Amino acid sequence: METESRVPGLALPAGGEGPGADSCHAAGALGTAQGPLLAAAEVLALDDEEDDLEVFSKDTSLTEVNSFSPSVPISPSSMINQYKFEDGPELRDLFITVDDPESHITAIETFITYRVVTKTTRGEFDSSEYEVRRRYQDFIWLKSKLEEAHPTLIIPPLPEKFIIRGMVERFSDEFIETRRKALHKFLNRIADHPTLTFNEDFKIFLTAQAWELSSHKKQGPGLLSRMGQTVRAVASSVRGAVKNRPEMFTEMNNYLETFSQKINLLDKIAHRIYKEERDYFTEMKEYGPIHTLWSASEEDVGDCLKGLAGCIERCCRATERRMAGLAEHLLPILHEYVLYSEILMGVLKRRDQIQGELDSKVDALANKKPEKDLFSEEIGKLEDKVERANNALKADWDRWKQNMQWDMRSTFMNVAENNLHYYEECLATWESFLASQTVDLHVDEDSEDRP
């Protein structure tokens, strides 16, 4: 009875989060990615996305290939801010955007797919442009494949399934937009990563049609084998890989403990500030009109009151912009790094595991002197594995730290700028009001000629 109906979500073009999108904007490609009108909110009552059902996604007949449009006019300074320093924009050869969330309703479930557009000059890609639709499950799959292939590399975080602390409700427009931006970030971070960017599963994710992807997914090790790995991992880490851990990684662990704590606190603080600013905005909205009301019963002071009301109104709008800026930049970044800190913990653990494998093998053989030579090859392999893992982690850690530093600097500078714009705008408003009042005063004084 229920055929699949295409009820699109928000008509959202690509945001300006990732560096890839920006250079495309710089290239001046402007179009509109407008979907049909949004339907009722209850349509978006999505079930848990854990099931393995096939993804039905509409064959998106490609409209304009160059269909990017900035949702907000991107100022030059913010564009610069979003360039990563790692690869200069001239070196990048892979540009990815995530946009156009659409809701898909079937008899069995409802879910959202996102459009993923890739542009590339790389030879390994058959074509220079791809457009596919992916759902959240697919992203999870990609992440787990990357983790598998590179256990000691730092895989970027995915947005969570749902947000507990609520500035958004589950699957509201806000939620979807937040998620879309995070997914966009996720893919772009992978694209920027010197190693991950060449991962085969990544390529398939970007290019394969829906059916291709699902058949490819089924090829890999199943859920059970993945679970088995986890169990072993936990077991071996318990076995005290810590005792042979090189100093460097202990330092990393210590750093991470504090960092994780602080970033979580900052996340909470930022949300709290947002809430307070929103409450302030709500009260301010009521404050201005009272002055206008008052001006109706006053003659002399009426104009002054109206002027004041106007000022308050303008400051109110400025507050709104400040809030939006916070939600746009600071909150997503802090949240991403909260997730990053968890990921990093996991990476360090996996490294410990790998070392643990080596250590346990070495310990086991310590008691079997004559057979040592037989297993020397195996031990050699494990030693290599440990060394590779350590080096990969070290390099990626340094890279991550640099990125983090850059991200924090640019984000907090953006916060400061946001606040500066707010105060400057309010200042201008009040100063012009004051100037107008002083002029009036002088006019009054001149005309004072009472008997």
Q: Specify the residue, 113 or 410, whose C-beta has the smaller distance to other proteins.
A: 410
Contacting residue, 277, 320, 342, 383, with other proteins by CB under 8 A: 277
Is 58 a binder of other proteins (CB under 8 A)? no
Q: Rank residues 218 and 450 by Cβ distance to other proteins and give the closer one.
A: 450
Site string for other proteins, 68-107 (x = CB under 8 A): ----------------------------------------
| In the complex, minimum distance from the CB of residue 319 to other proteins, in angstroms, rounded to a whole number | 9
Number of helices followed by number of strands (H, E) in the chain: 11, 4
Query: Phi/psi of residue 113, each to 5°?
Result: -115, 155
- The amino acid at residue 233 is A
* Residues in region 402-431 near other proteins by CB under 8 A: 405, 408-409, 412-413, 415-417, 419-420, 422-424, 426-427, 430-431
Count of all residues that appear for the chain in the document: 451
Residue whose C-alpha is closest to residue 116's, from 92, 132, 138: 132
Task: Candidates 108, 234, 265, 324: give the one binding other proteins (CB under 8 A).
Answer: 265
Q: What is the DSSP string of 382-413?
A: HHHHHHHHHHHHHHHHHHHHHHHHHHHHHHHH
Among 204, 259, 339, 385, binds other proteins (CB under 8 A): 259
Q: CA 73, 75, 76, 80: dihedral to nearest 10 degrees?
A: -100
* Residue 160: CB atoms within 10 Å: 12
Burial of 377 (0-12, 13-18, 19+ CB in 10 A): exposed
Read off the tokens for 55.
Answer: 């993804």
> The tokens of 394 are what?
């070290």
Residue 129 or 425: the one with the smaller Cβ distance to other proteins is: 425
> For other proteins, what does the binding mask look like between residues 308 and 347, x meaning CB under 8 A?
x--x---x--------------------------------
Binding stretches for other proteins (CB under 8 A): 255, 258-259, 262, 265-266, 269, 272-273, 276-277, 279-280, 282-284, 286-287, 290-291, 293-294, 296-301, 304-305, 308, 311, 315, 405, 408-409, 412-413, 415-417, 419-420, 422-424, 426-427, 430-431, 433-434, 437, 441, 450
